C-alpha cells in the first residue's frame, strides 16, 4: 500500500532515524537518495528521534560519517523534548539522570542541576551507564518523592546485530519496584509531535511522518492527524500489522522505495 505521488506532494517530512536511515553504524539502502531528494526539492524536514543519547550536533556528525551531510538544525531528540517539558513544569529544578551526554547536556541547557540526593525528577534515557547501583538509587529517590520521567516509551530498538532494550524496558524495573508509572515524553506523546511541527513551521495537513514503529511513529501520526509512512526496515514487520487496530497510510519495504528512489 503506497502512493509515492501523494508522499511527494507533502511539503514537510518528520523522519525517524533508527530503522529508517540506519541500523547502528550501518546506513540503510536509499537513505542518501532520500535526503538528497528532500534537499533538491526544497522540502522542510526534521529527523525526530526517540533516542536521547546524542545531541543534534553529534547526530549530524554521525550522518556525516555515514555519507549524509545535514545541518544540526534538522534534528530534534526526545532529550530536547524532555528538557523543554521539565523546564515548563519546574523551572530551575534538579534531576537524577540515568542516560548519556546528549540527555545530560539538554537538561543542563534547560537550567537543571544534577542531584543524587533529593531531586525533583528521576530522568531515564538509553545508555551504557545503566547499572544495578543506578537502578537502586533511582528507586530510592522515586520512593522519596522524585517524579519518574522516561525520555521515550520504546521497549526495544534496532541495531546492526538485531534488537536491544530501549528506554521503556529500562524504566520498567523502577516502575515495578517503586509501584509508580513513568511519564514518557517521546513519540507517541503529542508534545513531541507539536514540537516537531513548530520546528518545521508546518501544518499537519502538509506533513508526513516516516517511521519504522507502529507503536510510536505510526500511532503518533494517527493521533496527531499527520499522514503516515511505515517502512519495514526496522522494528515493525509486515506480519506484526494485524496486531494493531490502526493502519499506516502508506507501507514501504524501506526508505529505498521513498520519493527519492523515483
124: left (phi over 0), alpha (psi -120 to 50) or beta: beta
Please, which contacts does 110-117 make with residues 24 or more away whose CB atoms are closer than 8 Å? 110/83, 110/84, 110/86, 111/87, 112/83, 112/86, 112/87, 116/141
**Grid cell for residue 237:** 514487520
Q: What are phi and psi of 33, to 5 degrees?
A: -65, -40
Strand partners, 197: none
Give me 204's grid cell. Answer: 499537519
Catalytic residue among 3, 16, 217, 240: 16
- Specify whether 212 is catalytic: no
Q: CA geometry: angle at 238 spanning 230 and 150, to 5°?
A: 55
Per-residue CA distances from 212 to 17, 18, 49, 140, 231 (Å): 9, 8, 11, 36, 5
- Of the candidates 3, 18, 36, 212, the residue annotated as catalytic is 18
- Catalytic site includes residue 18: yes
Q: Compute φ and ψ for 247, nearest 5 degrees.
A: -130, 145
**Whole-number Å distance between alpha carbons of 247 and 100:** 34
State the catalytic residues: 16, 18
Amino acid at each position: 500500500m503506497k502512493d509515492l505521488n501523494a508522499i511527494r506532494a507533502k511539503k514537510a517530512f518528520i523522519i525517524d532515524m533508527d530503522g529508517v536511515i540506519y541500523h547502528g553504524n550501518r546506513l540503510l539502502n536509499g537513505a542518501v537518495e532520500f535526503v538528497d531528494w528532500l534537499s533538491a526539492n526544497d522540502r522542510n524536514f526534521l529527523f525526530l528521534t526517540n533516542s536521547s543519547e546524542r545531541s543534534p550536533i553529534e547526530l549530524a556528525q554521525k550522518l556525516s560519517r555515514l555519507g549524509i551531510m545535514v545541518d544540526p538544525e534538522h534534528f530534534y531528540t526526545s532529550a530536547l523534548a524532555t528538557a523543554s517539558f521539565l523546564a515548563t513544569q519546574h523551572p530551575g529544578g534538579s534531576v537524577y539522570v540515568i542516560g548519556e551526554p546528549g540527555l545530560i547536556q539538554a537538561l543542563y541547557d534547560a537550567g537543571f542541576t544534577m542531584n543524587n540526593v533529593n531531586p525533583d525528577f528521576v530522568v531515564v534515557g538509553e545508555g551504557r551507564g545503566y547499572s544495578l547501583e543506578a537502578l537502586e538509587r533511582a528507586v530510592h529517590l522515586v520512593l522519596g518523592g522524585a517524579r519518574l520521567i522516561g525520555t521515550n516509551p520504546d521497549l526495544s530498538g534496532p541495531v546492526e546485530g538485531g534488537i536491544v532494550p530501549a528506554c521503556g524496558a529500562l524504566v520498567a524495573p523502577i516502575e515495578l519496584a517503586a509501584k509508580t508509572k513513568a511519564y514518557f515524553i517521546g513519540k507517541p506523546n503529542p508534545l513531541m509531535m507539536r514540537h516537531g511541527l513548530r520546528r518545521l513551521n508546518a501544518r499537519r495537513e502538509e506533513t508526513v511522518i516516516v517511521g519504522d514503529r507502529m507503536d510510536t511513529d505510526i500511532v503518533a501520526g494517527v493521533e496527531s492527524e499527520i499522514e503516515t509512512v511505515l517502512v519495514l526496515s526496522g522494528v515493525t514487520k509486515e506480519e506484526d500489522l494485524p496486531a494493531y487496530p490502526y493502519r499506516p497510510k502508506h507501507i514501504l519495504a524501506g526508505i529505498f522505495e521513498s520519493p527519492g528512489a523515483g
